[in-house]
Amino acid sequence: MNRASTPETIELELKFGLRDCGIDRISLVLKDVLQHNIHARTDTLKNAYYDCRGVLYEHGVAIRTRSVGNRHEMTVKVRQPVESGLSLRKEWNIVIPGPVLDYGALDELPLPDPVKTVVKNRSLDPVFENIFERTDWRVLHPDCDLMVSLDRGSVRVGSLE
C-alpha cells in the first residue's frame, strides 16, 4: 500500500534491476550510505491489473486492485512523458472494501475519453495478476522522504506463471 506521506497525486519512480542482492545486503548498503540504522518491513502484496481490449494500455492508463492482508486499495496511474529514465505518473489510491473495482470512484477521475467510455460501460477485466513480497526501507531526511523497495514474486496471466 502506498504511504500516506505522499503529498500529491504525482509519483516519481526510478527502478533498478538487481542480481545477487538480498534484503540483508541492501540493509547493509543503506546503513553504510546513510550512516545510521534503517529498518526493513516486508509484506505480501496481491495485485490484479485490468484492461479492455488494450484501451487502457493504448492511452497510458493502469488500473489495479491491491491487497495487503485484509487491506485493499484501487490504484489508477496515468502515464506522463518520460524524462531521463524516470517514470512520472499521475496516481490516485482509493481504499476499497475488497479486491474488486470501484467503478463509482473511477467515474470521478480525469481519465482520457476512451478510458472513461470503458469505465462507463463497466467493461474492465483482469488481464494479469502478480503476487510478491515487498520489502520497504523508509529513509527520512530533513530534505526528503524516500522509499526504497525490493519486490520478489511472480506474474500470472491465465494459467501461465
Q: What is the tens place of the pLDDT at every residue in 102-146? A: 999 999 999 999 999 999 999 999 999 999 999 888 877 777 777
Q: Report in angstroms the alpha-carbon separations of 156 from 7, 66, 100, 159.
A: 33, 15, 18, 7
127's enclosing H/E stretch is strand 125-141
Residue 3: pLDDT band (50, 70, 90) is: very low
Contact present, 50 and 125 (Cβ < 8 Å)? yes
104's enclosing H/E stretch is helix 103-107
Q: What is the pLDDT of residue 7?
A: 44
What is the rounded average pLDDT of the residues 21-37? 73
Please give the share of the chain, as a percent, with pLDDT higher than 90.
50
Using the predicted structure, report yes or no on whether residue 56 has a pLDDT greater than 70: yes
pLDDT in tens, 15-28: 777 777 777 777 77
Least confident of 22-26, 45-49, 58-62, 71-75: 22-26
Using the predicted structure, report yes or no on whether residue 8 has a pLDDT greater than 60: no
> CA–CA separation, 50 vs 62, rounded Å?
7
Contact present, 95 and 15 (Cβ < 8 Å)? no
Question: In sequence order, what are the beta bridge partners of 74?
Answer: 65, 94
Query: What rounded mean pLDDT belongs to the chain?
Result: 85
